[in-house]
Homo-oligomer: A and B are copies of this chain.
Amino acid sequence: MPLSAPPVDSARGSALYQEVLEFYARQMRSLDEGRVTEWAATFTEDGVFSAQAHPRPQEGREAIRQGAAEAVRRLAERGVRRRHWLGMLDVTRHGDGSLTARSYAQVIDTPIGGQAAVELSCTCEDLLVREGDRLLVRHRRVDRDDLPRP
């Protein structure tokens, strides 16, 4: 992978890069605002969400929806507002039209009436595919920076 995409590639990729940025903005906000069915719909029907924080990968939209609903419930019980920030995005296009999107992620927690803080720093690697005119996550892997890596 070149350190910097050539200009012609960059020109073609500009709209795509922006589309991925906006996809993440909407996807993460749906989770952070507790719209878990909308969140699950940003994965493919057979989407997989793998994270060290999960005892096992969430496989399929229903498992992903249930996992999010459980996380939203726990945060509400603790009176915490959570924001997922993705940044430092790097997008690689594959021959079949799918994308690998690598990013950094910050989880910012704010207790209602309390002090905001960085809760977690992670890396995120997604395989994105297009269905109709929408991008969807087929596979997501999140690695927390506080946990040892195999």
Chain A positions within 8 Å of B, measured between CB atoms, are 1-7, 10-11, 13-19, 21-30, 38, 41-42, 81, 83-91, 102-104, 106, 108, 110-121, 130, 133-136, 145-148
Contacts and interface: CB of A to CB of B under 8 A. Distances in A.
Main SS class of interface, A: mixed
A110 to B, nearest CB: 4
Question: Taking the full assembly, how many copies of this chain does it contain?
Answer: 3
A104 B85 contact: yes
Nearest to A120: B116
A64 to B, nearest CB: 14
Contacts of A91: 22
A146 B114 contact: yes
Which 7 residue pairs are nearest across A and B when measured between Cβ atoms?
A6-B133, A110-B145, A11-B15, A14-B15, A10-B19, A4-B134, A116-B121
